[in-house]
Amino acid sequence: MNDPISIKGLPWLLKIIAAIMGAILALILSGDIDPQGRIKITVGVILKFAISVAISLYGGSAFIEYYQLTHYSMQSQGFVMLIFAVFGMLLIGIWYQSMQLWKGKTVSEIIAEVKAAFIAMFK
């Protein structure tokens, strides 16, 4: 009952894996993972990853509890958390790009960054 590795912890492990996958997808969308699949580890990238996982776990759990989706399978709940990780970071990315516009970046430069991120994701 008190053993640290238990079959009861398996659902959370599946949800955490979905959150990590969503965070990696969010890093691809934000351009931190380049088209060749390389990543430069910086404090900013670590913070983005941690924030994405936190948004996924807390936001996804709150969504599942609020809308009473607990009776669905673990895969469905993991998918909700994956969506929260990606779209949570997407909202942060939109906020970041709007800040870049205020700093003097042109719209065409931002569109080129977003296009490169999508090419990297679907390559």
pLDDT in tens, 19-67: 888 888 778 777 788 777 788 888 888 888 888 888 888 888 889 889 9
Lowest-confidence pick of 3-7, 9-13, 78-82: 3-7
* pTM for this prediction: 0.65
**13 half-sphere exposure, CB direction, 13 A CA radius:** 7
**pLDDT band for position 77 (cuts 50, 70, 90):** confident
Longest dimension (CA), the chain: 59
| Angstrom distance (rounded) from CA 44 to CA 60 | 23
Q: What is the mean pLDDT of the segment spanning 74-88?
A: 84
The mean predicted confidence, pLDDT, of the chain is: 80
- Quick one: 82 exposed, middle or buried, by C-beta within 10 A (0-12, 13-18, 19+)? buried
User: How high is the pLDDT of residue 123?
Assistant: 64
Sketch the domain layout of the chain as residue ranges.
Answer: 12-122
Comparison of pLDDT for 108 and 2, the residue scoring more: 108
